[in-house]
């Protein structure tokens, strides 16, 4: 990972895009949430390039991932795996930006497939759900990838 590509660091996170400590990334009236993608190993320079591409193309104004320098100190980690990462891709729930983000993630191989070649049905999680502590079995998605595309073919509706 190239540190110079990170826009800023706050609270154990590496942020890309708009500096939310100075300006909001979204309007207060927006229904904001995120898709999360996961992987193993270090966040590569190639992955960082994909993140910056999403910012530069206007796919999303804000992306974050845990700061690898502080990952050992993550109090929310449910296991001891220090080699796993998550990237949080923010969007509103409006159809055009949400589909645009989902398509970007698919096109760049960030949504994994099952053994049968079907895309995993990742969920869009509203920030309000996170703030209410809706995790694991308590989390009920209202939007998932299968609402936007055919998981078997990858065709968007």
pLDDT by residue for the chain (157 residues), tens only, comes to 888 889 999 988 999 998 888 888 898 888 999 999 998 888 889 999 999 999 999 999 999 999 888 865 555 555 555 567 899 999 999 999 999 999 999 999 999 999 999 999 999 999 999 999 999 889 999 999 999 999 999 999 9
Q: Write out the E strands in the chain.
A: 8-10, 13-17, 32-40, 62-66, 84-92, 123-126, 143-144
CA dihedral 50, 53, 54, 56 (to 10 degrees): 160
pLDDT at 19: 86
pLDDT at 40: 85
Q: Residue 131: how many CB atoms within 10 A of its CB?
A: 8
Angle (CA) 114-101-15 rounded to 5° is 105
pLDDT at 76: 52
* CATH number of the 3-147 domain: 3.30.760
Helix, coil or strand: residue 37: strand
pLDDT at 151: 98
Query: Is the whole-model pTM more than 0.95?
Result: no
Token digits for 138? 């308590």
pLDDT at 77: 52
Give the Å distances, CA to CA, from 48 to 30, 43, 56, 66: 27, 7, 12, 13
Where do the domains of the chain lie?
Answer: 3-147
């Amino acid at each position: 990972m190239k540190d110079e590509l990170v826009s800023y660091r706050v609270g154990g996170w590496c942020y890309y895009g708009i500096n939310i400590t100075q300006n909001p990334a979204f309007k207060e009236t927006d229904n904001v949430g995120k898709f999360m993608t996961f992987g193993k190993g270090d966040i590569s320079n190639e992955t960082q390039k994909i993140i910056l591409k999403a910012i530069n193309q206007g796919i999303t104004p804000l992306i974050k991932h845990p700061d690898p320098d502080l990952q050992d100190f993550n109090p929310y980690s449910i296991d001891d795996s220090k080699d796993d990462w998550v990237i949080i891709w923010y969007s509103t729930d409006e159809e055009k930006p949400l589909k645009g983000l989902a398509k970007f993630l698919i096109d760049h191989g960030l949504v994994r497939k099952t053994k049968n070649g079907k895309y995993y049905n990742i969920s869009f999680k509203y920030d309000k759900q996170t703030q209410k502590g809706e995790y694991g079995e308590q989390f009920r998605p209202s939007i998932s990838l299968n609402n936007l595309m055919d998981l078997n073919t990858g065709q968007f509706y």
